Amino acid sequence: MGSIKEKKKIWLKRKKRVSKRIVSSVERPRLSVFRSAKHIYGQIIDDTTGRTIATASSNEKAVKDQPKFDNKVAKAVFTGKLLAQRAMDKGVKKVVFDRNGFLYHGRIKALSEGARETGLDF
């Protein structure tokens, strides 16, 4: 493989390429996802005002209070459901998905499917 600096450079390049195609609006805010080695984070952002509408992560108390998950993918599904529930409480039903330069598989896909199951449309 390459060094960590090279990997980060490639990821930032891919993130930039993906992000410039994503157009959000007041009706359809952006659901941005970030994945670290241990956790996954999701937030719904209104780009017109620059405010975060709803957020959820696998690192917060609501997720940690659940019974132990089998793996990180199961934790990502629960985090997606939690994020969608919080968004729907705020009146957001449609979003634009921003995978943030990450490939759409594994935990990224699991979070989006969890959000879709709860009723978020994208």
Domain chopping of the chain, boundaries: 4-118
Q: For the segment 33-82, what is each residue's pLDDT rounded down to a tens digit? A: 999 999 999 999 999 999 999 999 999 999 999 999 999 999 999 999 99
- Asked whether residue 2 carries a pLDDT value surpassing 80, the answer given is no
107: left (phi over 0), alpha (psi -120 to 50) or beta: alpha
Best CA proximity match to 109, nearest among 42, 37, 15: 42
The pLDDT of 96-104, averaged and rounded, is 93
Joined tokens for residue 7: 């990997």
CB 118 within 8 A of CB 89: no
**Domain 4-118: CATH class, spelled out:** alpha beta
- R_g of the chain, CA atoms, integer Å: 14
